[in-house]
């Protein structure tokens, strides 16, 4: 090979590090010959696939020789009824990560700046840098987004701001007053992406609903996913809600069949499955109590979280603890790539999974 193909890369792509996903169960089983593995690494729904989804999928399978409905009529109609968002304000994606990328591709050039917080979701730098836009990272406050710092970072070049509420991996959140006071300060030609991947889990009265804020802020884009509380991470389906003009832009860069037919059917079905959603939320609440009580007992500090995960401060190199937990058959998520080398992120599982994780942590930390 005499050509240096790296030199051919687009400027923004040269400096990119690929997203590191949670370790798959099968991979650990293969590597260590383990059978009984608990995965609490990717904020997946521990309830498993909803029965309503399994039923919808049997229908979808017999149509797999056809292209999906490129406009996602059925799902958009359901979303419209449920959240009072017009179909021409919805963009469907192959997971909400896909939608985040569509937003970036529709708007960003190398002349633009993108603001996000320290410890924000790593997909934001990925999509912004790939397009050569300049990332402006504001320091976190108590591990969460410092909205004052973010507002102060806005200048003539700012095109896009990413905010996750609650944030992953920290689990921190912004209340209604803080968020709306921030949005009031953002110029209308700066687009704010509010990533609400975990919103269904939050039951605080002061927690904002981004979809309800859309009529008030024309520059607001809200993204949501079926990967977490709806239990469809493996199917890849999410969406953005925004004004019709922005939505038109996102759909110009969207591949026509980016949301597959099975995912469309499954999402439509589970959106009507209030029982599954309620169980997801209550299992998460109980699991959060169990896990944090266990961490308290172990004397471990953690960042208060309203998501389906919690970031534990081990006050030592977390990489070694992560490896030792793997040997115990427990997969959690290292977050050193977020600049948090002493933390591990643990997803909330079923009661027995949380117990397994706590017991493994106790064993590993006392070794």
Ligand X SMILES: *Cc1c(COP(=O)(O)O)cnc(C)c1O
Cβ-based nearer residue to ligand X, 333 or 356: 333
Residue-by-residue DSSP string for 244-300: HHHHHHHHHHS-TT-S-HHHHHHHHHHHT-HHHHHHHHHHHHHHHHHHHHHHHHTT-
Contact 253, 95 (CB under 8 A): no
CB 81, min distance to ligand X, A: 21
The two beta strands, 330-331 and 38-39, are parallel
CB 1, min distance to ligand X, A: 34
Residue-by-residue DSSP string for 100-162: HHHHHHHH--TT-EEEEETT--THHHHHHHHTTPEEEEEPPBTTB--HHHHHHT--TTEEEEE
Selected from 160, 164, 288, 360, the binder of ligand X by CB under 6 A is: 164
CB 34, min distance to ligand X, A: 26
Selected from 39, 43, 235, 343, the binder of ligand X by CB under 6 A is: 43
Selected from 60, 68, 208, 238, the binder of ligand X by CB under 6 A is: 238
Cβ-based nearer residue to ligand X, 97 or 247: 97
CB 56, min distance to ligand X, A: 18
Residue with smallest beta-carbon separation from ligand X: 95
- Residue 311, classed as helix, strand or coil, is strand
- Is 227 a binding residue for ligand X by CB under 6 A? The answer is yes
- Is 354 a binding residue for ligand X by CB under 6 A? The answer is no
- Is 121 a binding residue for ligand X by CB under 6 A? The answer is yes
Selected from 38, 56, 92, 96, the binder of ligand X by CB under 6 A is: 96
What is the number of alpha carbons within 13 Å of residue 96 lying toward its C-beta? 26
What's the Cα-to-Cα distance from 215 to each of 145, 177, 220, rounded to whole Å? 24, 17, 9
- Is 197 a binding residue for ligand X by CB under 6 A? The answer is yes
Binding site for ligand X (CB under 6 A): 43, 95-97, 121, 164, 168, 195, 197, 225, 227-228, 233, 238
């Amino acid at each position: 090979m005499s050509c240096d193909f790296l030199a051919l890369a687009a400027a923004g792509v040269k400096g990119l590090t690929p997203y590191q996903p949670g370790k798959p169960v099968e991979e650990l089983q293969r590597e260590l010959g383990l059978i009984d593995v608990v995965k609490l690494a990717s904020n997946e729904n521990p309830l498993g696939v909803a029965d309503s989804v399994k039923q919808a999928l049997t229908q979808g399978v017999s149509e797999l020789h056809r292209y999906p409905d490129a406009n996602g009529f059925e799902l958009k109609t359901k979303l419209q009824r449920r959240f009072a968002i017009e179909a021409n304000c919805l963009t469907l994606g192959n997971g909400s990560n896909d939608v985040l990328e569509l937003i970036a591709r529709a708007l960003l050039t190398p002349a633009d700046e993108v603001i996000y917080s320290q410890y924000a979701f790593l997909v934001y730098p990925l999509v912004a840098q790939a397009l050569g836009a300049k990332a402006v990272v504001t320091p976190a406050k108590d591990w969460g987004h410092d909205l004052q710092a973010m507002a102060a970072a806005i200048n003539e070049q700012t095109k896009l701001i990413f905010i996750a509420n609650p944030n992953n991996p920290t689990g921190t959140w912004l209340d209604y007053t803080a968020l709306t006071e921030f949005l009031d300060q953002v110029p209308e030609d700066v687009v704010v992406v509010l990533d609400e991947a975990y919103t269904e889990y939050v039951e605080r009265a002061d927690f904002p609903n981004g979809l309800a804020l859309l009529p008030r802020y024309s520059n607001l884009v809200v993204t949501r996913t079926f990967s977490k509380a709806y239990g469809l991470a493996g199917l890849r389906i999410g969406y953005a809600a925004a004004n019709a003009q922005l939505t038109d832009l996102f759909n110009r860069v969207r591949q026509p069949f980016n949301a597959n037919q099975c995912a469309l059917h499954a999402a439509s079905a589970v959106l009507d499955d209030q029982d599954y959603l309620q169980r997801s939320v209550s299992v998460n609440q109980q699991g959060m109590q169990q896990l944090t009580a266990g961490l308290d007992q172990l004397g471990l500090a953690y960042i208060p979280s309203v998501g389906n995960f919690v970031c534990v401060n081990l006050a030592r190199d977390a990489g070694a603890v992560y490896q030792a937990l793997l040997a115990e058959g427990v997969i959690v998520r290292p977050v050193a790539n977020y600049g948090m080398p002493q933390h591990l992120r643990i997803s909330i599982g079923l009661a027995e999974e949380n117990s397994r994780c706590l017991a493994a942590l106790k064993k590993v930390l006392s070794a």
